[in-house]
Structure 1
Amino acid sequence: MPSFDTVLDPNLVEVRNAVDQTTKEIVTRFDFKGTSAKIEIKEKEITVFGDSDFQLDQVRDVLTLKMSKRNVDSRFLDVGKPEKMGGDKVKQVITVKAGIEAELAKKINKLLKDSKIKVTSSIQGDSIRVQGTKRDDLQTAMALIRKEITEAPLSFDNFRD
């Protein structure tokens, strides 16, 4: 039976490269000289440090620019609230989303059931398996998911005939 998997899977190598390029730009930029602006990455968590909220915004803008140049969608980033640190310093934790959350998975399942396309979908851990009898139905389901689900950069894997 033809099937495919819907996944939310960022390219973590490119994310790390974008963070490294952002670090290089922060070091060389004139408006960041003498400030505590910096960016760090650990696993799927990016931490941005700065002297003010405005500076955090600037570092985040540089990061999203570097990510877009490396073809990494900025919708993978889940930006947290700025936190005050000692002195006048602030930090912000940005989480890199990987894996479809339960709420989004239920939304996709409901979308496919309501569409009357002859496919079945099931949640399988961090992905959603969509099965159908015809290849055309699966391609129609892919197009529908791409069109309707805009809050996450979903991709499709394991297309089997």
Structure 2
Amino acid sequence: MADQFSFDVVSEVNMQELRNVVDQATKEVKQRFDFKDSKTEITLKEKEKELVILSDDEYKLNAVIDIIKTKCTKRGVSLKAFDYGAIEPALSGTVRQTAKIQSGIVTEKAKEITKAVKESKLKVQAQIQGEQVRVLSKSKDDLQATMTFLKGKDFGIDLQFTNYR
């Protein structure tokens, strides 16, 4: 039997679900009357981990973002996974907004998570490993208490727990 149990705290987005969200949102935009004859596009750049939204004006752009948020909620994609940039003008009078997709935990957030775990007074150790945080303990109960503790805190990013062993 293992004398140490562990789990990893990660922040990832299921790209297949995100593709489904983009497909459904595109289909809805094409069907809606208020988007008739508009130059509205939703583009998912998986390699750059970006979502690019292009539309005629800010009002339509915000409507498209609302559609995307609704579809994300229905498909179980966290809204915290997106970091929206500024609205910028694009070609022929349209506007564009780029949303970065969360992938991995940045160092500052990882330090914040490990600090919170240490301050929780649970008998666990947290260490940063690349873009994830590993939590170790001799007790599975302490690990589950740590998961519950982390779910209750808001770090501004979506957290998942993997490799529970």
Q: Considering the TM-score relative to the shorter chain, is it more than 0.5?
A: yes
Report whether the alignment pairs 1:105 with 2:110: yes
In structure 1, what is the Cα distance between the partners aligned to 2:114 and 2:150?
10
Report whether the alignment pairs 1:31 with 2:34: yes
1:17 counterpart residue number: 20
From 149, 152, 157, give the equivalent of 1:147. Answer: 152
In structure 1, what is the Cα distance between the partners aligned to 2:63 and 2:28?
11
* SS of corresponding position for 1:3: strand
1:65 counterpart residue number: 70
Pairs aligned (count): 160
Instruction: Give the counterpart letter for 2:132 in structure 1.
Output: S
From 110, 135, 141, give the equivalent of 1:130. Answer: 135
Query: Deviations for 1:53-102, whole angstroms, at most 9, x for unmatched residues?
Result: 11110000001111111111111111111111233211000111010111
* SS of corresponding position for 2:86: coil
In structure 2, what is the Cα distance between the partners aligned to 1:26 and 1:115?
46
Instruction: Give the counterpart letter for 1:146 in structure 2.
Output: K
Instruction: Give the counterpart letter for 1:70 in structure 2.
Output: R
For structure 1, the 5+ residue unaligned runs are: none
Q: For structure 1, which segment, 11-20 or 68-77, has the greater mean C-alpha deviation from structure 2 after superposition?
A: 68-77
In structure 1, what is the Cα distance between the partners aligned to 2:134 and 2:5?
11
State the 4+ residue runs in structure 1 displaced beyond 2 angstroms.
none
Report percent identity of matched pairs. 39
Report whether the alignment pairs 1:157 with 2:162: yes
In structure 1, what is the Cα distance between the partners aligned to 2:110 and 2:59?
35
1:87 counterpart residue number: 92
TM-score by length of 1: 0.95
For structure 2, the 5+ residue unaligned runs are: none
TM-score by length of 2: 0.93
Report whether the alignment pairs 1:116 with 2:121: yes
